[in-house]
Structure 1
Amino acid sequence: MSIELRHLRCFLAIAEEGNLTRAAARMHLTQPAVSRTLAALEKHLGARLVDRSTHHFALTPEGRAFHDRAATAVAAFDAAADPERLRHRPLRLGHAWSAFGPYTTPLLRRWQREHPRTPLELLRIDDRTAGLTRGEVDAALLRGPVDTPGLATVQLATEPRIAAVPADSPLAARETLTLADLAPETAILNPVSGTTTLDLWPPDARPSATVTVANTDDWLTAIAAGRGIGVSAASTAEMHPHPDVTYRPLPDAPPVPVLLAWRDAAPHPATEALVALAREISGTG
């Protein structure tokens, strides 16, 4: 068997719909035909791409890697076959939390005004690369270091870190806090998309207890409920205010870099314009 474009499109539909029946409807095929295409791909590649059962459907690690390559290949073909259509397709911009901070609205408004034929869609995806490596977005606003292979990045800004504490905690009464002030507390950590780990504290002065969450909403809820404290970038206070959470400066913690990232291979045609505008708005252009 040789892999053809139709096989890649079918696999992408399966991955994005998360269901063979919906993928078949999207591709205007029968479900058995979609199942045969998936089986043929897996046989050709010598790897299981989808872990599927009656109550479970998810890409395997091999499936996620193949998804990125397939999305790149299809995008490259579409660009070659119909560059005018691709140039004006929506530009999907992912973020895991806080987007571009105070620059979010200026970026969206300027883009709409200057590039009306290419909509900019801002999507929150709870993932370390905000959906970029999975092909769910074309570019992403990320915080913290990014060393994922195949991604290009440009640093747009740095943000100071802040502490997030329960509003009724004695810590909330202070004007500023230090890492040492937070060390006796339970640390609420988001390993899925957050940038804070126990490595932020000195080895001999780290919180002894942690609570793990999967997204910003759960992080805020845990802090508001008094289960512990959190550390984040300054824009979190602006983008995610909460009546039961108090944010305080944390001047002895290192700042967080804010990056714009995109895939090296076959980027969206409007990526260069997005980079230029983001750098201009943030003052790094």
Structure 2
Amino acid sequence: MLRVGFIPGVEPDRFARRWRSGQRPARLELVPVPLSRQAEVLGTGEVDMCFVRLPLEADGEDTAGGPGELHLVELWEERPMVVVGSENILSLHEELTVADLAEDPEIPSAHPDDAADRVAVVATGVGHALLPMSLARLHHRKDVVHRPLADAPATRIALAWPRAADDAVRQEFVGAVRGRTARSSR
């Protein structure tokens, strides 16, 4: 069995369908993982691989650039979004810049798993929250809107797994994520 974790905002269904479409060497189990535990679940072996949001931090340190503990395959970038109440004047813009946000207070993140709480505060008409696009969509409500933030860096999603646990099954899953089917060759 191959246990693959995924953080909020990542939708692993298309990869799971591709994996299950042919004769694969292991059964796939998808495991939801809170953002705050993305590095931990890899270290403890709770999952074999995990879709993670970079930078991958463990105990306050960035492990993504660490000396070879994890394989990281960067997959895509997520556009930064501004979430505001639907009555906020900023909701009238199609796209926002950091300068546009100068007069509107930001609801800061208290911990990595608080996106839904910050969106709830924004829905009351107080301030704005900055979220990756996938989280803004995941926590969408009728009383908020999200707009692209043009001049902020994107976040990146990657597939990570321990270097010490690399094997043919994991490499096969990487191939499936990159678009190979059971019938295609490397």
Q: TM-score, normalised by structure 1?
A: 0.53
Question: CA 1:259 to 1:244, structure 2 compared with 1: closer, same or farther past 3 Å?
Answer: same
Alignment partners' CA distance in 2, 1:216 and 1:161: 13
For residue 152 of structure 1, what is the aligned residue in structure 2? 71
Shift of 1:183: 2.7
2:183 aligns with: none
C-alpha distance in 1 between matches for 2:6 and 2:71: 15
Q: CA deviation at 1:137?
A: 2.1
1:121-157 deviations in whole A, cap 9, x for unaligned? Answer: 1313231526323433222212232331422211111
1:93 match: secondary structure: strand
| Equivalent position of 1:98 in the other structure | 9
What TM-score, normalized to structure 2?
Answer: 0.77
From the superposition, tell whether residues 110 and 228 of structure 1 become closer, same or farther in structure 2 (CA, over 3 Å): same
**Which amino acid counterpart does residue 110 of structure 1 have in structure 2?**
R
CA contact (8 A) 1:179 1:250 kept: yes
Aligned-partner Cα distance in 1 for 2:91–2:35:
28
User: Which letter does structure 2 place at the counterpart of 1:177?
Assistant: L
1:185 alignment counterpart: 104
Q: 1:241 to 1:108 in 2, by over 3 A?
A: farther
Give the structure 1 partner of residue 59 of structure 2.
Answer: none
**2:49 corresponds to 1:139:** yes
Offset from partner CA, 1:254-275 (integer Å, 9 cap, x none): 2222211111222475221222
Distance in 1, Cα, partners of 2:114 & 2:93 = 27
Q: Aligned equivalents of 2:169 and 2:34: distance in 1?
A: 21
Q: Percent of aligned pairs with the same residue? A: 30
- Distance in 1 separating the partners of 2:110 and 2:170: 28
More strand by share: 2
- Residue segments in structure 2 that go unaligned for 5+ positions in a row: 57-61, 181-185
Which residue is equivalent to 2:119?
220
Q: Confirm whether residue 127 of structure 1 aligns to residue 36 of structure 2.
A: yes
Q: Distance in 2 between matches of 1:168 and 1:190?
A: 22
Q: Structure 1 stretch 267-276 or stretch 244-253: which is displaced more?
A: 267-276
Does 1:109 find its partner at 2:17? yes
Aligned partner of 2:94 among 175, 183, 186: 175
CA distance in 1, matches of 2:45, 2:21: 27
Give the counterpart letter for 2:80 in structure 1: R
CA RMSD of aligned residues (A): 2.6
Moved over 4 A (4+): none
Higher RCO (Cα < 8 Å, 6 or more apart): 2
Q: Is the 1:91–1:268 contact (alpha carbons within 8 Å) kept by the matching residues of 2?
A: no
**Aligned mates of 2:179, 2:70 — CA distance in 1:** 21
Per-residue deviation at 1:94?
Answer: 2.9
The whole-number CA distance in structure 2 between the counterparts of 1:270 and 1:219 is 39
Does structure 1 conserve the Cα–Cα contact (< 8 Å) formed by 2:115 and 2:135? no
* Partners of 1:91 and 1:270 within 8 A in 2: no
Please list every run of 5 or more consecutive structure 1 residues that lacks an aligned counterpart in the other structure: 1-88, 194-213
Compare the two structures and name the one with the higher helix fraction. Answer: 1
Q: Is the 8 A contact 1:158 1:256 kept in 2?
A: yes
Structure index of larger Rg: 1
Q: 2:85–2:145: 8 Å Cα contact kept in structure 1?
A: yes
SS of residue paired to 1:270: helix
Q: Report the number of matched residues.
A: 170
Shift, 1:111, TM fit: 1.9
User: How many angstroms apart in 2 are the aligned matches of 1:255 and 1:172?
Assistant: 21
